[in-house]
Amino acid sequence: MKKILLACSSGMSTSLLVTKMQQYVKSIGDEAEIWAVGQDQAKAEMAKADVVLIGPQMSFLKSELQKEADKYDVKVDVIDMVAYGMADGKKVYEQALRLMGENQ
C-alpha cells in the first residue's frame, strides 16, 4: 500500500485535499494511506511515508525536509500550486505516484 504524507503550515489546509485524494484513489480501485500533518510534525511522520508532499506555503522548507527524508529514502516535493488551490485530488495523487516512480 502506498503511504502519502501531506504537510502544510498547520495541517488544516491539506485535510480537504486528503479527502479528495482518498475519494479519487477509491474511485480507481487503488489503495493508499494518505494523511496530513502540520509542519512541526512532518519530520516525525515521514519515516512512515513513501513520499512527502508539502503545501506551496512551505516550499522554503523543501531542502531541509528532504535532508531528513533522505534518512528514510523518502522523496519530498512541493504540491503543484494550482492542484493545491483547487484541491485536485487526482492531480496531487498522480504527482505522488510520479515521485514514487510509478506510472499512472
| Domain range list for the chain | 2-99
CA separation for the pair 82, 32 (Å, rounded): 23
pLDDT digits (tens, 9 = 90+) for 1-10: 999 999 998 7
Return the CATH class of domain 2-99. alpha beta
17: pLDDT strictly greater than 70: yes
pLDDT digits (tens, 9 = 90+) for 59-100: 999 999 999 999 999 999 999 999 999 999 999 999 999 999
What's the Rg (C-alpha) of the chain? 12
pLDDT value at residue 85: 93
pTM of the model: 0.93
pLDDT value at residue 99: 96
**Alpha carbons within 13 A on the beta-carbon side of 46:** 26
36: pLDDT strictly greater than 80: yes
Catalytic residues: 8
103: pLDDT strictly greater than 90: no
